[in-house]
Amino acid sequence: MEALTILNWVLDGLLGVSLFSLAWLALASPDIFKAIVLFISFGLLMALAWVRLNAPDVALAEAAIGAGLTGALLLAAFARLEDISIGASDGEEVQSHIQHDSNEEPK
Amino acid sequence: MERSRWLLPLLLMLCLGLGYTVLSMPEPVEGLPEMLVDNMEVAGVSNPVTAVLLNFRGYDTLLEMGVLLVALLGVWSLGGIPDYRESSPGLVLDIMSRQLVPVLILVAGYLLWVGADAPGGAFQAGSLLGAAGVLLLLCGWRIGNRCSGLPLRFLLILGLGMFVVAGTGLLLIGGEFLQYPSPVARELILMIEAAATLSIGATLAAMFLGSLPGGADK
């Protein structure tokens, strides 16, 4: 029993630390694609955290909407941004616009 | 340089606003869980989360459905978003989606049904339907022109519409807005949830597509 409690603490601690580090990495990453992937993995870990907090309803919603569909929407937007930058003649400038916009995009 | 001069006061204002909001938050009401437990028998469902979302605070959920609809309208009103590049989905995605989409639809139905008594419900089921739609869209499937007009729009407003119709119907027979009489509460909630599930799934998939379906072909 005692060992199980300690294991739970270790698990929760790991979960919390990785959540914070994933969140920071996602925000600080200059590469948009990497940031999106990190955001999706953040959502999945967040779902685990909700399970640990005994909120399975929220965990289901987080996994399905937060990680799954938001991730898909972000990736879709990213694909379109790439399309635009390929289509434009001066791809360099558009790329910098994209980088700039991504910093202000609310998540 | 110009930007950084304004940034600091703006950030300070934001911090002050946030701090004020956090400090002036109302005290959490005591005894809400007990109140919920005491009223569970009139809720019509045995899952407390569903009872709160669809019955006791049904108005919030109604507005949430409205927010989803407005979000989709916002995406559509951007207009002129190019469709995805034509690309063949590849063998893996093609076969996987053939296997996965029926399973996703089945699980969505299960989550909707089980939401009355266990974790689950309209939003989870709807987002699974949405995910199935996203998979299909990724495989190159597009909604036919015949269905992209009225039928699609009907599906999109079905959830909000059912909510409003149920609420207004209750008003007409002499009740309060969205205050379900407890003998039929379960059926009403299931009906609203089923409609909401379809709408949420359609809305999310349409959001993924981005452009107004059918409009690009004209």
pLDDT in tens, B105-132: 999 999 999 888 888 888 889 999 998 9
Count other Cβ atoms within 10 Å, centred on residue B161: 14
pLDDT value for B77:
86
Task: State the DSSP H helix or E strand holding residue A71, giving kind and residue range, or none if neither.
Answer: helix A70-87
Which domain range does residue A31 map to? 2-104
Q: What predicted TM-score, i.e. pTM, was given to this entire model?
A: 0.77
ipTM reported for the complex, 2 dp? 0.71
Q: Residue B48: pLDDT band by 50, 70, 90 thresholds? A: confident
Reply yes or no on whether the pLDDT at B217 is more than 50. no
Do the Cβ atoms of A60 and B84 come within 8 Å?
no
Looking at chain B, the whole-number percentage of residues with pLDDT higher than 70 is: 92
Do the Cβ atoms of B123 and A65 come within 8 Å?
yes
Residue B123 with chain A: CB contacts under 8 Å: 61, 64-65
3-state helix, strand, coil in chain B (%, to 5): 70, 0, 30
Whether A97 contacts chain B with CB within 8 A = no
Distance (Å) from the C-alpha of residue A98 to the closest C-alpha of chain B? 16
Domain count, chain A: 1
Whether A91 contacts chain B with CB within 8 A = no
pLDDT value for B153:
87
Of A59, A68, A80, the CB nearest to B127: A68
pLDDT value for A93:
47
Whether A61 contacts chain B with CB within 8 A = yes
Residue in this structure with the two tokens 């407890």, named with its chain if needed: B182
Distance (Å) from the C-alpha of residue A72 to the closest C-alpha of chain B? 7
- Give the HSE-up count for residue A66: Cα atoms under 13 Å, Cβ half-sphere: 18
Q: Are B101 and B128 in contact (CB under 8 A)?
A: no
**Alpha-carbon distances of A27 from A18, A42, A66, A100, B205, rounded to whole Å:** 14, 11, 16, 13, 26
